């Protein structure tokens, strides 16, 4: 085995057991011999050097290409074993050289003018939409769910997320709502159905736009919900409420000031905005190399210290910050399990290599939320300090009312079906 890789694995894997079989058939064991047990095979000698020098990119690419094979366990088990150990035994500096260089050049990688933003969005979202139906909830909520109870299933947790967001927006009758990064339209349509308000959703994905418009008509909300293919930097108008869920990660660190300037320009004097995004609980870093190259080009997960200065410069007022810890880890576990259960269908649509790539993406993302200090921030913003009540009780009351209405609707639906 390439000596630096042996040193790297021997230093990191202290708890649990990792067996590495090399291309020439030799086997090397690391850890204390206890559970969990993971075994892999490296299919060529060149891979040993690649993993040692750039592990964050090489492992994912090798698994995607079939050059790293799981002999025992799934790829999640390998990632979890390594990341669970790195807190006690961090990687040596030479193994992080590539990441350090990427951090220094991150502003170039995250330069996202409108044309580039559209290409980046198309890379991930403009694929066969049926794939998303296979592992997301029925509303196609492709962002962190909210688990008020530990035993919530994915569908209920996503409904709870929508209630939670609606409560923070403090929506009133006749409000006009903007959804920046509206995806397949589930949030916008639910807000319209819950409140009776008009909602405009904007996206850069042609596939998402078509799905959202079709869905609005099918649900009888075409008169109240409008979806457009437009960048937030190009939009005009004023809105009483602005929401953005899972879009800010695509803005790019160079553009934070402009993003919040636009929110301030689009928000009514007495308006409320809520920005929901993945963030780091620790210091700024570079985007994971595999994710940046293969999954979300141009994306970045910021530390709070990178976001708040941009908000302060915009003149907006931070009225509430909530940190959702481990909610996304639970969400990603549900997605990963559903994706694996639908493997044959995904393979039929996109091929085996795509399946391995996305299993690695989902597994690595879940582990990052469990072991690498990734969280979700929900930041509530206003233009005036007196816009909202000065205690948070109104949020809890609104959520309780929404749950009660949903319960009454479900009872009525059950009774109607029983009568039929």
Same domain for 188 and 91? no
Q: Which of 104, 133, 154 is the last residue of a domain?
A: 104
Q: Is residue 409 part of a domain?
A: no
The pLDDT score that the predictor gives to residue 406 is: 81
> In the predicted model, is pLDDT for residue 411 greater than 60?
no
d(CA 188, CA 174): 15
271-295 burial, b at 16+ Cβ within 10 Å, e below that, comes to: bbbbbbbbbbeeeebbbbbbbbebb
Q: What is the pLDDT of residues 172-198, one digit of tens each?
A: 989 999 999 999 999 999 999 999 999
Q: Is residue 416 part of a domain?
A: no
Phi–psi pair at 196, nearest 5 degrees: 80, 10
3-state SS string for 332-399: HHHHHHHHHHCHHHHHHHHCHHHHHHHHHHHHHHHHHHHHCCEEEEEEEEECCCCCCCCCCHHHHHHH
d(CA 262, CA 42): 49
Q: Is residue 305 part of a domain?
A: yes
* pLDDT, the chain, mean: 91
Between 286 and 275, whose confidence is greater? 275
Residue with tokens 């060529």, as numbered in its chain: 44
- Tell me the pLDDT band of 124, cut-offs 50, 70 and 90: confident
> In the predicted model, is pLDDT for residue 14 greater than 70?
yes
Share of the chain above pLDDT 70, in %: 90
Same domain for 131 and 82? no
Same domain for 210 and 126? yes
Q: Which of 104, 133, 150 is the last residue of a domain?
A: 104
Distance in angstroms between the alpha carbons of the first and the last residue of the chain: 69
Q: Is residue 137 part of a domain?
A: yes
The pLDDT score that the predictor gives to residue 404 is: 86
Q: Is 152 a catalytic residue?
A: no
Same domain for 17 and 127? no
Q: Is residue 410 part of a domain?
A: no
Same domain for 298 and 155? yes
Same domain for 94 and 193? no
Same domain for 232 and 127? yes
Q: Which of 104, 133, 159 is the last residue of a domain?
A: 104
CATH number for the domain including 219? 3.40.50.150
Same domain for 232 and 349? yes
Same domain for 180 and 38? no
DSSP bridge partners of 176:
198
Tell me the chain's radius of gyration from C-alpha atoms. 23
> In the predicted model, is pLDDT for residue 154 greater than 90?
yes
- Domain with 45, as residue range(s), is 3-104
Model-level pTM?
0.92
Question: Closest by alpha carbon to 244, among 307, 289, 195?
Answer: 307
Q: What is the pLDDT of residues 234-265, one digit of tens each?
A: 999 999 999 999 999 999 888 999 999 999 99
- Tell me the pLDDT band of 103, cut-offs 50, 70 and 90: low
Q: Is residue 213 part of a domain?
A: yes
Q: What is the mean pLDDT of residues 60-74?
A: 98
3-state SS string for the chain: CCHHHHHHHHHHCCCCEEEEECCCCCEEEEECCCCCEEEEEECCHHHHHHHHHCHHHHHHHHHHHCCEEEEECCHHHHHHHHHHHHCCCCCCHHHHHHHHHHHHCHHHHCCCCHHHHHHHHHHHHCCCCHHHHHHCCCCCCCCCCCCCCCCCCHHHHHHHHHHHHHHHHCCCCCCEEEEECCCCCHHHHHHHHHHCCEEEEEECCHHHHHHHHHHHHHCCCCCCEEEEECCCCCCCCCEEEEEEECCHHHCCHHHHHHHHHHHHHHEEEEEEEEEEEEEECCCCCCCCHHHHHHHCCCCCCCEHHHHHHHHHHHCCEEEEEEEECCHHHHHHHHHHHHHHHCHHHHHHHHCHHHHHHHHHHHHHHHHHHHHCCEEEEEEEEECCCCCCCCCCHHHHHHHHHHHHHHHHHHHHHHHHHHHC
Same domain for 231 and 361? yes
Same domain for 55 and 130? no
> In the predicted model, is pLDDT for residue 89 greater than 60?
no
Q: Is residue 98 part of a domain?
A: yes
CB 215 within 8 A of CB 206: no
Q: Is residue 11 part of a domain?
A: yes
The pLDDT score that the predictor gives to residue 151 is: 86
CA distances to 144, 219, 381 from 276, in Å: 9, 26, 11
> In the predicted model, is pLDDT for residue 416 greater than 50?
no
Total domains in the chain come to: 2
Same domain for 255 and 322? yes
Catalytic residue among 144, 197, 355, 367: 367
CATH number for the domain including 78? 3.30.1050
């Amino acid at each position: 085995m390439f000596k630096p890789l042996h040193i790297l694995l021997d230093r990191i894997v202290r708890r649990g057991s990792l067996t590495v079989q090399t291309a020439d058939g030799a086997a090397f064991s690391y850890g204390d011999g206890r559970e969990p047990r993971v075994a892999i095979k490296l299919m060529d000698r060149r891979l040993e050097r690649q993993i040692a020098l750039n592990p964050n990119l090489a492992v994912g690419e090798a698994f995607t290409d079939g050059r790293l094979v799981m002999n025992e366990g799934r790829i999640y088990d390998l990632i979890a074993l390594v990341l669970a150990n790195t807190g006690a035994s961090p990687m040596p500096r030479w193994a992080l050289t590539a990441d350090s260089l990427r951090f220094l050049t991150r502003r170039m990688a995250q330069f996202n003018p409108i044309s580039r933003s559209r290409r980046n969005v198309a890379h991930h979202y403009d694929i066969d939409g049926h794939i998303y139906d296979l592992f997301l909830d029925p509303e196609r909520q492709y962002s962190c769910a909210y688990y008020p109870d530990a035993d919530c299933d994915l569908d209920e947790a996503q409904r709870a997320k929508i209630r939670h967001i609606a409560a923070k927006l403090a929506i009133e009758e006749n409000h006009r709502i903007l959804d920046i990064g509206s995806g397949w339209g589930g949030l916008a349509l639910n807000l319209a159905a819950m409140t009776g308000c008009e909602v405009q959703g904007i996206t850069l994905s042609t596939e998402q736009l078509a799905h959202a418009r079709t869905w609005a008509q099918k649900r009888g909300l075409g008169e109240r919900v409008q979806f457009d293919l437009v960048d937030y930097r190009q939009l005009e108008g004023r809105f009483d409420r602005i929401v953005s869920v899972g879009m800010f990660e695509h803005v790019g660190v160079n553009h934070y000031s402009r993003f919040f300037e636009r929110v301030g320009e689009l928000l009514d004097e007495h308006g409320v905005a809520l920005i929901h995004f993945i963030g780091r609980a620790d210091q700024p870093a570079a985007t994971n190399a595999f994710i940046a190259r293969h999954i979300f080009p141009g994306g970045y997960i910021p530390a709070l210290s990178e976001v708040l200065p941009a908000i302060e410069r915009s003149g907006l007022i931070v009225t509430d910050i909530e940190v959702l810890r481990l909610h996304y880890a639970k969400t990603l576990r549900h997605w990963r399990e559903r994706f694996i259960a639908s493997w044959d269908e995904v393979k039929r649509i996109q091929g085996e290599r795509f399946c391995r790539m996305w299993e690695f993406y989902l597994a690595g993302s879940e582990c990052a939320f469990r072991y690498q200090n990734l969280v979700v921030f929900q930041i509530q913003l206003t233009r005036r300090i007196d816009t909202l009540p000065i205690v948070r009780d109104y949020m809890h009351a609104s959520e309780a009312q929404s749950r009660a209405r949903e319960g009454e609707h479900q009872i009525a639906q059950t009774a109607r079906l029983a009568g039929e």
